[in-house]
């Protein structure tokens, strides 16, 4: 079963496309039965996701501030 981890804010249409695409890939590559293929999409809030010792929220805020500073 593929598990897809996304950020919050992914639309229902995007989730449906992920489920369809992951299922199609497993059918094509592994000859899986689509009726027996489950796809789990797990949404993780950026406060609950970390990288390099910081939350993704903090990293994105800093990057946004840097982009704003560079645009001036």
Q: Report the catalytic residues.
A: 2
29-59 in b/e burial notation, b at 16+ Cβ within 10 A? eeeeeeeebebebeeeebeeeeeeeeebeeb
Given the structure tokens 């899986």, which residue do they identify? 32
């Amino acid at each position: 079963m593929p598990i897809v981890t996304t950020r919050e804010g992914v639309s229902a249409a995007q989730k449906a496309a992920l489920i369809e695409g992951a299922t199609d890939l497993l059918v094509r590559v592994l000859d899986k039965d689509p009726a027996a293929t489950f796809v789990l999409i797990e949404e993780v809030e950026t406060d609950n996701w970390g990288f390099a010792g910081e939350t993704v929220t903090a990293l994105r805020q800093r990057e946004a501030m840097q982009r704003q500073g560079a645009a001036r």
